[in-house]
């Protein structure tokens, strides 16, 4: 699930909050955002936060298994 989230996030990063980019988007490639310095195909902080949450949940589960 995290992989799919990262792929979708990287795809959408090129035109997030950039209305003028949606018109030229033909779904065939990753696009560079017109205002943000992020390379096409890179995921954003949205994916990074999801990874951090997943790591926290896994760590908590491991901690609970040791205590129980």
* Residue range 5-59, pLDDT digits in tens: 999 999 888 877 776 656 666 778 888 888 888 888 899 999 999 999 999 999 9
pLDDT of residue 59: 94
Supply the pTM of this predicted model: 0.71
Domain boundaries, the chain: 2-67
Give the SS3 label for residue 7. Answer: helix
pLDDT of residue 20: 66
Token reading at 13: 């990063």
pLDDT of residue 67: 66
pLDDT of residue 21: 59
Please give the Cα distance from 37 to 59 (Å, whole number): 33
């Amino acid at each position: 699930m995290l992989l799919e989230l990262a792929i979708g996030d990287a795809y959408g990063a090129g035109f997030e909050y950039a209305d003028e980019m949606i018109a030229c988007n033909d779904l065939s490639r990753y696009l560079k955002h017109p205002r943000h310095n992020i390379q096409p195909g890179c995921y954003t902080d949205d994916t990074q936060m999801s990874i951090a949450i997943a790591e926290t949940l896994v760590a908590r589960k491991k901690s609970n298994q040791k205590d129980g």
